[in-house]
Amino acid sequence: MQTEVLGKCVSTLFIAAIAACFFMANGMFYEALVIQLNEWAAGQTPVAWSTSAFYR
């Protein structure tokens, strides 16, 4: 009986650790993506200003 409960606890902790790593990696990927998109958008601002017929 105690072995079954211990096994279930270990399995639950293992699954929780895998889920936590997955969510942490997902958050890090999202943060890196947002940084890259912000850098790209900052680089596109001068292009939009220089090619816009409205501001000539």
Residue 13 lies in a domain: yes
* Weakest mean pLDDT among 5-9, 36-40, 44-48: 44-48
Residue 49 lies in a domain: no
Q: What is the mean pLDDT of residues 32-44?
A: 91
Any residues with CB less than 8 A from the CB of 55 and at least 6 apart, and which? 49
Q: Residue 31 belongs to what domain range?
A: 2-43
Contact 39, 33 (CB under 8 A): no
For residue 13, the model assigns a pLDDT of: 98
Number of domains in the chain: 1
56: pLDDT confidence band, cut at 50, 70 and 90? Answer: low
Residue 15 lies in a domain: yes
pTM, two decimal places? 0.60
Residue 36 lies in a domain: yes
Residue 19 lies in a domain: yes
Residue 26 lies in a domain: yes
Residue-wise pLDDT tens digits, 15-35? 999 999 999 999 999 999 999
Contact 8, 16 (CB under 8 A): no
Residue 50 lies in a domain: no
For residue 4, the model assigns a pLDDT of: 92
